[in-house]
Amino acid sequence: MNFKAKQNCIFLILVAALSVIISGNVMAGEVSLYDGSENTTPDEQGWLSNFSISELCNYCELCVSPFCPSNISEACNSSEVEDLCKLSPASSSQEAAEGVTSLDSMTDTGDLAGYFSNIPDLSSFASIPGDISFAHPDMPGSLDRSSGFTITFEAQVLEEEHDYNDRAGFSVIVNTHDCSGEGCMGLELGFWTDQIWTQGDADDEDGLFRRSETASFDTTIMTRYDLTVKDDNYELFANNSSVLKGRLRNYTTYEDPFYVTIYQTPDFLFFGDDTESAKAKVRLGSVTFRDSKGDINGDGIIRTDDAITGLQICAGEPPSGIAADYTPSDADVNNDKKIGSEEVIYILLSLSETE
């Protein structure tokens, strides 16, 4: 490529990127699931929470025959609702202010509090009145580990206490789309104030729900985390630096019926305190889903390295650092099986959105 062609390539990229930024278009492949800047809690933005569960359970307590319609009474008396109401918080609290939601379960270690992207079986709840989300309306249809995806979230653990070495007051659960009768491939991360670690499964040396790979990390500072999932593996980045990685897990040999159902639910996310053996006070700033588009080097996260490689290729320079499976992968933005201006624009916009 001659000098003029290189200039034209870079000029077109800059013009196209500027036009998209000015128009305010949202990038394809990236979905905001929670935006703290709106100063509303996650359960006001499509998530199911322990607090909204309490509203449902309070309604069912007041729904007494013969004044309660039979279909609603039947739903309220179902085992699913009974199990769900066990998750109602007794003393935990949430508050949205200053661009974050503060979630506090420190009053009672036995309390549970957090945010679910959906619950396993909606059929028992369809007839119960109320403005409660049982499935996030913007949740992607598939958390496909074969093509890869990233869950980005901003979080800060202000306080955390635990009764056991294998429990955490703040946890993140991700179930992929790959579920069967034997359960889902997924992951549960535990956060202490000074460590982040993975819950093991039955194939780990120490067994199911015992600490596995662990990283020392100060979680008391508001941090942007990128949890990337590809095939059988995950990697957690904190402020663009890798802190933890390993294989995905399968937790469905756990015997508690409700939690087994949770761990068998495909395309599922949870943020919060899911154990009666720990407690925490955390601040949640945002949650975003992003597919693998633009990840030219295949490391699971969009970086400036991807933009530089794309610019080099566009300018006719010898490329380096391209993922071996780039051609068939979902990193290709416009499915032309080439690296060009479309990929560079997408990467630059993605980087600008996360700054």
The number of folded domains in the chain is 2
The pTM of this model reads 0.78
Q: Assess whether pLDDT exceeds 50 at residue 95.
A: yes
Predicted local distance difference test score (pLDDT) of residue 28: 43
Q: Assess whether pLDDT exceeds 70 at residue 318.
A: no
**Residue 140 shares a structural domain with residue 225:** yes
Pick from 106-110, 165-169, 313-317 the range whose average pLDDT is largest.
165-169
**Residue 172 shares a structural domain with residue 279:** yes
For the ranges 1-15, 59-73, 198-212, which has the lowest average pLDDT?
A: 1-15
**Residue 270 shares a structural domain with residue 216:** yes
Q: Assess whether pLDDT exceeds 60 at residue 354.
A: no
Residue 49 burial (CB < 10 Å; 0-12/13-18/19+)?
buried
Residue that wins the pLDDT comparison between 272 and 264: 272
218 within domain boundaries: yes
Q: Assess whether pLDDT exceeds 70 at residue 326.
A: no
Q: Assess whether pLDDT exceeds 50 at residue 48.
A: yes
For the ranges 7-21, 181-195, 224-238, 283-297, which has the lowest average pLDDT?
A: 7-21
271 within domain boundaries: yes
**Packed helices 341-354 and 3-23: angle between N→C axes, nearest 10 degrees:** 40
Q: Which domain holds residue 322?
A: 3-28+305-354
Residue 243 near residue 217 (C-beta atoms within 8 A): yes
**Residue 269 shares a structural domain with residue 163:** yes
**Residue 317 shares a structural domain with residue 270:** no
Mean pLDDT of 251-269: 76
**Residue 277 shares a structural domain with residue 341:** no
**pLDDT tens digits, residue range 160-200?**
999 999 999 999 999 998 876 666 899 999 999 999 999 99
Residue 244 near residue 236 (C-beta atoms within 8 A): yes
163 within domain boundaries: yes
